[in-house]
Amino acid sequence: MVTSSHEASHRIFQERPELLAPVFQILGVPLPARAAIDVLTPDTTEIKPLERRVDSVLRVEPPDGDGFLLAIEAQGRRDPDKASSWTYYLGYLGAKHRLPVLLLVVCQDQATARWAAGPFRSGYGDWTSISVHPLVLGPGNVPLITDPAEAARNLAMAAFSAVTHGTHPEAPAILEALATALGTAGGESASYYSEFLEIGLGDTPARDIWRKLMAVGSYFPGRGTLVEETYLKGKAEGLADAVLRVLAARGVVVPEETARRISDSDDPDELTGWLARASVATDIAELFPDA
């Protein structure tokens, strides 16, 4: 099923093509300098009753020489049907445009990313007729951008980092860095990335944190302003909610007294530590090792 977070994971490449340069550097694939990038139709339907559609297709053309196509798929989980679909997409697009085709799969969890790397082989017995080797972006190779200065240098990569690591314990720090960077960028960029993150983070605790940051973000930290106090209170509430939701998702039983202790905390650093431990905890005692 196509979701809003699924759409955001691939549409950012259409709307912010400057993201391709750092992404190709991560993947170890050379990207031609000063290449022109065009968005092509993702429709790969040949027979009307059977509709096939790639998430996004870009044509990358260097100023001299032949270019290539980049087919981009956002993948939220393992899907046994994707091997045949991806093989078809690559064959059809290559034949239609007479260009080499690369497949890039964007994943928001490491297990799906490992699966998506393939290779996916098609053939009979021990004989392989076709082998598909996707390029994969996921939590394992997309950098964690927690420095506001680094985020400001490449807003597209910082936003993509936030979406890819939406369930990571460092998600609050990534979102803070991006919010601070957007405070200096302003204008259309701030509006675009604010909406992009709200969509791209989907139904995760990180989305609640992001909405609070956008509502009452402070760009003068440490000054004790009313806005900053409101921001810190909202941040603590968002982190507390994230801790409880992560524990619930992991099946950890939380006594009422412990839940109250988490909800009443107003220390973002303490809550961030609890959130990191909650992501790997199997028992509530693991949340408070000092106790």
- For 267-281, what is each residue's pLDDT tens digit? 877 887 888 788 788
DSSP reduced 3-state for 61: strand
CB 204 within 8 A of CB 164: no
139-153, 223-237, 241-255: which range is least confident on average?
Answer: 223-237
β 101-107/68-75 pair status: parallel
69-78, 86-95, 232-241: which range is least confident on average?
Answer: 232-241
Q: How far is CA 205 from CA 16, 35, 154, 167, in A?
A: 26, 38, 24, 8
Rounded Cα distance between 277 and 287, Å, is 6
The structural domain count of the chain equals: 2
Range 229-248 average pLDDT: 73
pLDDT at site 100: 92
User: What share of the chain has pLDDT > 70, as a percent?
Assistant: 85
Q: Are residues 115 and 164 in the same domain?
A: no
Domain assignment of residue 46, yes or no: yes
pLDDT at site 229: 54
Range 228-251 average pLDDT: 74
Among 100, 113, 104, smallest CA distance to 86 is for: 104
Q: Are residues 42 and 166 in the same domain?
A: no
Last residue of a domain, one of 137, 172, 187: 137
Confidence of residue 116 (pLDDT cuts 50, 70, 90): very high
**With 60 as the cut, is the pLDDT of residue 213 above it?**
yes
Mean pLDDT of the chain: 80
Higher pLDDT, 2 or 162: 162
Helices 155-164 and 171-185, axial angle in degrees (round to 10): 160
**With 60 as the cut, is the pLDDT of residue 228 above it?**
no
DSSP codes joined into one string, 206-217: HHHHHHHHHHH-
Range 24-45 average pLDDT: 73
Rounded Cα distance between 198 and 203, Å, is 9
- Is the entire prediction scored with pTM above 0.75? no
Confidence of residue 225 (pLDDT cuts 50, 70, 90): very low
Q: Are residues 167 and 129 in the same domain?
A: no
Range 26-47 average pLDDT: 70
Higher pLDDT, 167 or 131: 131
Last residue of a domain, one of 137, 168, 201: 137
Domain assignment of residue 59, yes or no: yes
Rounded Cα distance between 261 and 29, Å, is 49
Higher pLDDT, 132 or 189: 132
Domain extent, residue 242, equals 148-287
Residue type, 65: G
Last residue of a domain, one of 87, 103, 137: 137
Domain assignment of residue 142, yes or no: no
Range 219-230 average pLDDT: 45
pLDDT at site 206: 84
Domain assignment of residue 143, yes or no: no
Range 67-89 average pLDDT: 88
**With 90 as the cut, is the pLDDT of residue 114 above it?**
yes
